[in-house]
Amino acid sequence: MITVGVIGCGKIAQVRHLPEYADREDVRIKYVFDLCRERAEEVAERYGAAAVESYQDMLKDSEVDAVSVCAANSVHCQITIEALRAGKHVLCEKPMAVTLEECERMVEEAEKAGKYLMIGHNQRLAKAHIWAKKLLEAGTIGKILTFRTSFGHGGPEAWAIDGKNVWFFDKKQAFFGAMADLGVHKTDLIQFLTGQKVKAVTAWMGTLDKKDSLGEPISVDDNAICIYELGEQITGVMTASWTYYGKEDNSTVLYGTEGVMHIYENPEYSIVIEKKDGERICYSLDQIQTNTSQTKSGIIDMWVDSLEKNTRPEISGEEALFAMRAVFAAARSAEEGRRILI
């Protein structure tokens, strides 16, 4: 039996971490914590847990094997390091932290403590993405030349518990906007699909439309557009947006020497391959999660399985660093108006 605590009881904890832990008979949710005491108590009652006065209270309990960190971006590093030093394994939500130095410290502390650190980059666990990677490795579309990958919806205020008062809009708590919320997912995904790391970035990040509860422009980006250069001469575009006010876009298209692969772009088929000889191959596997249609992410299953088997999780802190280096390089590129090498 794995005993866990959940730090932060906002939307991501309530639609992913808590229900997915509860789905497993080999997991006990012992503690929850949230800055909003009433919210923590409601969640605790729902899952048969105890709502603690501070997250440090759960870290003191030797029965707790691991914690999920679902708090604001600005405290990811602090909470993670405290938990690791207390002897707990840590599953931290994305983005990993708000500076590259913090991310690297988290990895170092996990290594020092001999504990596992996993980051919630769940897109690589979607069925179509797993199958697409196998097809790409088999050379189905030949050598990958370019790509475009996009993650956009109407913004976190329509989804988050606190609406327009959501901490996502506050630079002090979030640091990034759409780039950290959505772009980090697609950055990790494209590296997963291609097997190549981002080597250089040219980016634009800005606020086009989104306003806070007072009607003022938010202090973080609501759109980010990045040109990513990957190893082996693969170049493509990653777009993250909080201003797609119609249907969400969570698609990826890869262009190769032998054809084109469309992933989660067709409402009927999760993968469509168009070969240059005219052949069309379609796979119906699943449909990607949306804010209004949350399905099981696979993150908690991977996390708990790694703890039970005592094996390093695939989406480890070390692996997440590759995506975070690209994210921070994008921010620097946007600020300085130039291409940044990683």
Res 253 pLDDT > 90: yes
Strands (E), 163-247: 198-206, 223-230, 234-241
Q: What's residue 50's pLDDT?
A: 97
Q: What's residue 138's pLDDT?
A: 97
Instruction: Render pLDDT for 157-182 as a digit per residue (tens, 0 to 9).
Output: 877 666 666 778 888 786 889 999 99
Residue closest to 39 by CA, chosen among 84, 6, 79, 75: 6
Strands (E), the chain: 2-7, 27-33, 50-51, 66-69, 89-92, 117-119, 144-152, 198-206, 223-230, 234-241, 252-256, 259-263, 271-275, 280-283, 340-341
Range 302-327 average pLDDT: 97
State how far the alpha carbon of 2 is from the alpha carbons of 22, 54, 106, 184, 216, in Å. Answer: 11, 21, 22, 29, 45
Average pLDDT, the chain: 94
Query: What share of the chain has pLDDT > 90, as a percent?
Result: 87
pTM of the model: 0.93
Range 135-146 average pLDDT: 98
Between 169 and 137, residue with greater pLDDT: 137
CB-CB contact of 172 with 142 (8 Å): no
Report the C-alpha dihedral over residues 286, 287, 289, 293, rounded to 10 degrees: -110
Query: What share of the chain has pLDDT > 70, as a percent?
Result: 95
Handedness of CA 107, 109, 115, 119 (dihedral sign): negative
Instruction: Render pLDDT for 47-78 as a digit per residue (tens, 0 to 9).
Output: 999 999 999 999 999 999 999 999 999 999 99
What is the three-class DSSP state of 148? strand
Per-residue pLDDT band for 287 (boundaries 50, 70, 90) equals confident
Amino acid, single-letter form, for residue 15: V
Number of H helices, E strands in the chain: 12, 15
Range 187-194 average pLDDT: 98
Domains of the chain (ranges plus CATH)?
2-122+297-315 (3.40.50.720), 124-293+323-341 (3.30.360.10)
